[in-house]
Amino acid sequence: MKLLKTTLFALLALVSVSCQSKTKTPTQVQSEPEVQAEKITKDELQEYETAYFASGCFWCVEAIFESVKGVKEAISGYAGGTEENPTYQQVSYGRTSHAEAVEVYYDPDKVSFFELVQVFFGSHDPTTLNRQGPDRGPQYRSIAFYENEEEKKIIEAYLKALEESGVYGEPIVTEIKPLTTFWDAEDYHQDYERKHPNDSYIRNVSIPRLNRFKENFKDYLKEDTH
C-alpha cells in the first residue's frame, strides 16, 4: 500500500502541471550540445540486463531512468511499431506506428525489473491515451515492453494491483507488448536533457517532471544524480 501511495503522489504531481508547457517539435531540437556527456558504447553494456518502456518524450524518460541506482545507461529510441529504421522526423509527426521509448541497461543485483516497473508507472500518467503532459499523439503513448513471460507476469500483476487499488481514479491505458525491435534514436537525442539544460522544452517540461520523480522516489536515486 505504501508503494501505491507513492505512485499516486507522483501521478498527482505530474498531472497538476502537465498543461503548463508547450509541445516540442522537430524544429525546436538542438543538435549542438551545450554540455558534454560521457558516451558509453554498446560493447560496454553487454554485461547488463535490459528493459524497455515508453511513457512520453524520451528526453525526460531517459533522464528519469538514468537517475535510478543500478541503471548503467538509458538510450532513447523508437519501439512498438512495425516500420524499419524509423527517424525522429517520421515518429514525431506520427507517421509511423512507433512510440518514443527508452532502452534501459541495469544491474539486477542493484535494481530489479519489478522496481523498474515501479519507476515506469510512478513517473508518468498511465491513464492518458496517446498523450503525456503537453505532448499529443500515439507516438507518446504508454507502453511497458517485455522480453520474456516472467517480465510479462510482473507487469501484468503490478498493473492489476494498481487498478484494484483505484489509486489513479481513471482506467489505466498502458499497453503491455512484447519487444520486437528497438531502434536507437539519432545521436543528438542521446542524453539530450543533460546536454541541453537551457532548451525551453527541457526547462519547462523535462526538468520539472524529472524533479517531481526525484522528490517522490528518493530511495531509488543514485547518490551522484544531477
Query: With contact defined as beta carbons under 8 Å apart, do 101 and 86 qualify?
Result: no
Block residue for cell numbers 482506467: 171
11, 29, 51, 57: the catalytic one is: 57
Q: Which helix (H) or strand (E) holds 144?
A: strand 142-146
What is the grid cell recorded at 124? Answer: 508518468
Query: With contact defined as beta carbons under 8 Å apart, do 146 and 152 qualify?
Result: yes
Give the angle subtended at the CA of 128 by the CAs of 122 and 133, to the nearest 5°.
75
Query: With contact defined as beta carbons under 8 Å apart, do 31 and 188 qualify?
Result: yes
19 is catalytic: no
Query: Closest by alpha carbon to 116, among 64, 45, 182?
Result: 64
User: Would residue 121 be called left, alpha or beta, if left means φ above 0 and alpha means ψ between -120 and 50 degrees?
Assistant: alpha
Q: Is 32 exposed, middle or buried (0-12, 13-18, 19+ CB in 10 A)?
A: exposed
Query: Closest by alpha carbon to 50, among 100, 110, 113?
Result: 113
212 by DSSP, 3-state: which?
helix
Block residue for cell numbers 541541453: 196
The catalytic residue positions are 57
